[in-house]
Amino acid sequence: MKLGIPKETLGGERRVATTPEVAKKLVGKGFEVLLEPGAGVAAHYTDDDYAAVGVQLAERAACFEADIVLKVRRPGDDEAAALRAGAIYISLLESCGDDPLVARMLEKGVRVMGMERMPRISRAQSMDALSSQSNIAGYRAVIEAASQYGRFFPMMMTSAGSAKPARLVVLGAGVAGLQAIATARRLGADVYAYDVRPETKEQIQSLGAKPIELDLGESGAGEGGYAKELSDEAKARQQELLAKELAKAHVIITTALIPCRPAPELITADVVQRMREGSVIVDLAAANGGNCKLTRPDQVVVEHGVTIVGHTNYPSMVPADASAFYAKNLSNLLEIMVDQTEAGPVLKDLAEDEITKAMLVQA
């Protein structure tokens, strides 16, 4: 069974769908792994690294003609067209609702599996790419904030004087938010956090942060551990009550997202104007409209003396580890997709397993 690993072509994307360490295990299990030359270079994995563990360097077209094609990001039109009928395509699809590109792939006879469709069950945790990549995003967002902030994060006491710790607020206590809290605490910041889901309070406190509690008159807890969209009345009250806390912050990391919905606006232009000169906002929801009114996707802007960071691909800023995590997610997924036989891996019926069934896009 052939696995195709083409090079990612989306601008700024440095990750790769497998690493030499993971590829070695796949080859050992009987997979024939085809990799486009240069696919891992941006993530600091050389062609020689792959060749040394039995990976075959192959033309791009050959990678897309494999039995299973593994990618990080959504396919382009040319990539979708290069897939053969009967093949399985796996990546983050980055789509909601009707998707004409995916529809064309299905019409062609390609079986499409979206990594973001992974069910939130304990059996699937080792395959959950959204969580693995969100962890990295939360970490890298704090590093970005620290580099943009012109002051210390921790309290510093020296013979020349002392500096108070930065007051850092994390909005959203999902995977990215919790990692942001942990990273900011390790750097010595005074951390506060807010989430619309009441059950996150204990998690926030366990990491040494102080929960911000607001009475909105309703809960934001949704299905599968995700947040749900609040009513218009609750949104207005949330903005009003949050404004006082946010205006006091030196650094704000926003991670609030609702699946397949625009990001909730939590930081108004008025709040930005009230923040201290030199403060920083890192908006992890920039690709979905942003949690801050003044965020500009893929730009770093200064408004009212506040630096607002709108990067949209933080995992790609840590490409080696992000690729390693993603590659292991895929490897664990492949484990449940095939039976190991003397003749090599044999594909199972993907509709029989609750994980692969949930990941399959239906026509």
Residue 283 annotated to the active site: no
Q: Confirm whether 125 is a catalytic residue.
A: yes
State the Cα–Cα distance between residues 310 and 175, nearest whole angstrom. Answer: 19
Give the tokens for residue 309: 């960071």
Q: Which of 74, 126, 167, 226 is catalytic?
A: 226
The residue from 15, 50, 111, 131 that is catalytic is 131
Measured distance CA(42)–CA(134) in Å, rounded: 20
Q: Are the C-beta atoms of residues 48 and 57 closer than 8 Å to each other?
A: no
Is beta strand 156-158 parallel, antiparallel or unpaired with respect to 111-114? Answer: unpaired
Tell me whether residue 362 is one of the annotated catalytic residues.
Answer: no
Q: Which of 50, 128, 195, 283 is catalytic?
A: 128
Task: Give the residue from 258, 351, 254, 262 showing the smallest Cα distance to 310.
Answer: 254
Local structure of residue 26 (DSSP, 8 states): H
Would you call 140 a catalytic residue per the annotation? Answer: no
Of 125, 147, 205, 299, which is the active-site residue? 125
Tell me how long the chain is: 363
Out of 120, 186, 237, 274, the active site residue is 120
Residue type, 257: L
**Would you call 226 a catalytic residue per the annotation?**
yes
Could you tell me the CA-to-CA distances from 196 to 134, 224, 232 in Å, in that order? Answer: 19, 15, 14
Distance CA 20, CA 54 (A): 9
Residues catalogued as catalytic: 120, 125, 128, 131, 226
